[in-house]
Amino acid sequence: MEHIIKKSDFENHLQIKEYLHYLTLDLWQHRWETSNKGRTTFSFFPTVPELPRISFSKLSTQTLSGHGPFMAHLHRIGKSEDDLCQHCHERDDPQHRILACPLFTDERSNLIARTPEPICLHRLPELPLEFLEGFARDYNEAT
């Protein structure tokens, strides 16, 4: 049987507010873990943050969401015939570029210099986001 929560269960309004905050985070986390949407973003943010990060740039957002010049995204929206990397012929998404694609070796080297190896995707948002921006560049702009 479910327990019905009443105002009398709390000593003050701050306890109610805190309870509702954590209840909301728990519900959000459950929905985030069980959704089939946003899986690229989930690979970087597996845990719903308590405090939002407000310093995202256009390119870091593209990398963290997968909504950028990635063949997987372009294929999904009908702007590419396939989802393959033009260089490696593997599925081109942010994870591929960050972890494996030779065209993004310089960007990956910058990450490795700032993270313990191996690169752990869910730890990358803790870094300054400019280190993720290069992975959202078009192939022709890759260094």
Q: Cα separation of 37 and 48, whole Å?
A: 14
Residues in CB range of 117: below 8 A, 6 or more apart: none
What are the sequence ranges of the domains in the chain? 7-34, 58-141
Q: What is the pLDDT of residue 136?
A: 95
- What are the average pLDDT values for consecutive 10-residue runs of the chain, which has 143 residues? 77 90 90 92 86 80 94 96 95 96 94 81 85 87 52
Residues in CB range of 120: below 8 A, 6 or more apart: none
